[in-house]
Amino acid sequence: MTLQNKKIKALAGYCHNKPFGPYSLPVKFQNIINANYAYKKNLIYGPGQGEPIFSKNHLQLRSMINDKTISRGLVMLSFYMLPKTRSKRNEIFKLAIKKHKEIHFVIEDIIFKEKKDIKKIEELFSYQKFTEQSDKIFKRLKK
């Protein structure tokens, strides 16, 4: 019996075929890491699905959140796989809350479960933006 035809408390893997944040890893290895994460958390891991490389709207991510056969939620390597803009991320968060889905971020060791978790993730995005801006400033100063 597969996860698709029986509702099982499981995490489905979400992968990117393109770089995300400072990371780039083949989908095959993303799936291995996601499966290992689920195993260590004593959760069942469903096969990972990748976002099409040409997609800018995170169609696969939205589809997986809406999928009724995925009862627990999703696991992805990093919050960098989320949309780059805050408004688009908030759409994903609202959808996940509405559908009662968790989103696990392996590298950052964060689990998004409810509205209050948005603040932690947005703080990390802020730090990342600050770091990028600092790097640009230091590069200009070196010239």
pLDDT of residue 61: 92
Q: What's the CATH code of the domain at 90?
A: 3.40.50.1390
Number of domains in the chain: 1
Cβ-contact 13, 74 below 8 angstroms: yes
- Strand 110-112 to strand 102-105: parallel, antiparallel, or no bridges (unpaired)? antiparallel
pLDDT of residue 141: 64
Q: Domain span at residue 91?
A: 3-142
pLDDT of residue 51: 79
Q: In whole angstroms, what is the distance from residue 10 CA to residue 64 CA? A: 12
Confidence of residue 37 (pLDDT cuts 50, 70, 90): very high
Highest mean pLDDT among 5-9, 115-119, 121-125: 115-119
pLDDT in tens, 118-130: 998 898 877 766 5
Burial (Cβ within 10 Å: 0-12, 13-18, ≥19) of residue 3: middle
- Asked whether residue 6 carries a pLDDT value surpassing 60, the answer given is no
> Which residues 6+ apart lie within 8 Å of 122 measured at CB?
86, 89
- Asked whether residue 58 carries a pLDDT value surpassing 70, the answer given is yes
